[in-house]
């Protein structure tokens, strides 16, 4: 009989060429455990690769907090002077910059000059509409579905944040940039906007999600480590602790308060923590009892994991 999989999160390395749903489907099919729910904390386009966080059971309820609290870091390998419908080279370019300015000026820009220019323009608040070939939805339908049908739709720009821009390399026309951004930022659009600001066109060749918050692709579970139904797979060896993903204040509770918290009752604590701050409630365990929020100097459970241990 299959054992129950407790709330847990895996840091998967999604390779290029498959969808995020393909990864979910593999784990659902091959994990020899029972679980109530599975989901991911932010999809990756099929051509992109890198960190894909998938969560099982009640850990999937952390999704909104991951998006709100954590930044995402990407490495964008792009090409200047070309533009495609999708914003990447999975399709043929439909526009090419043949200007002398590109050949004689932009081609001679230094890596440092490009980085300085892009920082001046894009660091901080960044208003962006989702790319028409994105999975963002309008009236319950994904934008790329409209685009494939030839239907032009426009979505309002939303405020995003760009926290870091680092030009890793520039060998004209190839430009590689590391971006640290808020959740919901479309890197294909950001790279294109950067190219436009430099005075040309731009499209992505490759895209890597390097990090989600503190979780890095260096520690991701590679495809040859994924579970296979016929083989033993120790989930504890691979699971990312929830407290590591969301590195919030930890508050250790005495035994006398554990039951109250499990029943959804706010409990007192003796630590200096600000009002409305998110905290982990713990008790002699590697796994947290609950994600809580401070209300009137009491810990109010937001997501309870007490009865999952």
CATH code for the domain of 270: 2.30.130.10
Q: Is the pLDDT of residue 153 over 70?
A: no
Q: Are 163 and 180 in contact (CB under 8 A)?
A: yes
pLDDT range class, residue 154, cuts 50, 70, 90: low
Buried-exposed string 58-75: b where 16+ CB fall within 10 A, e elsewhere: bbbbbeebbeeebbbbbb
Confidence at residue 133, expressed as pLDDT on a 0 to 100 scale? 53
Q: Are residues 78 and 206 in the same domain?
A: yes
Confidence at residue 165, expressed as pLDDT on a 0 to 100 scale? 98
- Mean of the per-residue pLDDT values for the chain? 90
pLDDT range class, residue 146, cuts 50, 70, 90: very low
Confidence at residue 151, expressed as pLDDT on a 0 to 100 scale? 47
Q: How many separate domains does the chain show?
A: 3
CATH number at residue 95: 3.30.2350.10
Q: Are residues 199 and 226 in the same domain?
A: no
Residue of 80, 50, 82, 85 lying closest to 169 (CA atoms): 80
pLDDT range class, residue 131, cuts 50, 70, 90: low
Q: Are residues 45 and 29 in the same domain?
A: yes
Structural domain including 29 reads: 3-68+215-243
Q: Are residues 283 and 227 in the same domain?
A: no
Domain boundary, last residue among 162, 193, 212 = 212
Catalytic residue among 22, 45, 68, 193: 45
Report which of residues 285 and 87 the model is more confident about: 87
- Which tens digit of pLDDT belongs to each residue from 207-259? 999 999 999 999 999 999 999 988 889 999 999 999 999 999 999 999 999 99
Q: Are residues 91 and 219 in the same domain?
A: no
Q: Is the pLDDT of residue 158 over 80?
A: yes
β-pairing verdict for 8-14 and 141-142 = unpaired
Q: Are residues 206 and 124 in the same domain?
A: yes
pLDDT range class, residue 4, cuts 50, 70, 90: confident
Confidence at residue 230, expressed as pLDDT on a 0 to 100 scale? 84
Among this protein's residues, is 88 annotated catalytic? no
Q: Are residues 188 and 166 in the same domain?
A: yes
pLDDT range class, residue 272, cuts 50, 70, 90: confident
Answering whether pTM is above 0.75, one says: yes
Over pLDDT 70: what percentage of the chain? 90
């Amino acid at each position: 009989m299959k054992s129950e999989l407790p709330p847990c999160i895996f840091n998967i390395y999604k390779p290029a060429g498959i969808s995020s749903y393909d990864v979910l489907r593999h784990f659902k099919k091959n994990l020899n455990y029972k679980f109530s729910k599975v989901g991911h904390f932010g999809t990756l386009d099929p051509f992109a690769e890198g960190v894909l966080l998938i969560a099982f059971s009640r850990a999937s309820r952390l999704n909104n907090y991951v998006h709100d609290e954590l930044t995402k870091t990407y490495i964008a390998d792009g090409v200047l002077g070309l533009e495609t419908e999708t914003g990447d080279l999975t399709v043929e370019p439909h526009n090419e910059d043949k200007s002398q300015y590109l050949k004689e000026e932009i081609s001679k820009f230094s890596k440092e000059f490009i980085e300085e220019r892009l920082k001046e323009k894009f660091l901080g608040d960044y208003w962006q509409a989702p790319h028409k070939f994105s999975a963002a939805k309008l009236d319950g339908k994904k934008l790329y579905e409209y685009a494939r049908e030839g239907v032009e739709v426009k979505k309002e720009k939303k405020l995003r944040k760009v926290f870091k821009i680092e030009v890793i390399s520039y060998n004209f026309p190839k430009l590689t940039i590391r971006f640290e951004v808020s959740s919901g930022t479309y890197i294909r659009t950001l790279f294109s906007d950067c190219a436009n600001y430099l005075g040309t066109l731009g499209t992505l060749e490759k895209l890597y999600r390097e990090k989600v918050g503190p979780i890095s692709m260096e520690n991701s579970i590679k495809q040859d480590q994924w579970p296979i139904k016929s083989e033993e797979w120790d989930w504890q060896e691979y699971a990312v602790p929830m407290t590591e993903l969301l590195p919030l204040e930890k508050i250790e509770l005495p035994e006398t308060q554990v039951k109250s918290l499990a029943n959804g009752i706010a409990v007192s604590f003796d630590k200096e923590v600000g009002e409305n701050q998110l905290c982990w409630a713990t008790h002699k365990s590697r796994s947290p009892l609950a994600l809580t929020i401070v209300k009137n100097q009491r810990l109010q459970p937001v997501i309870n994991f007490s009865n999952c241990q």
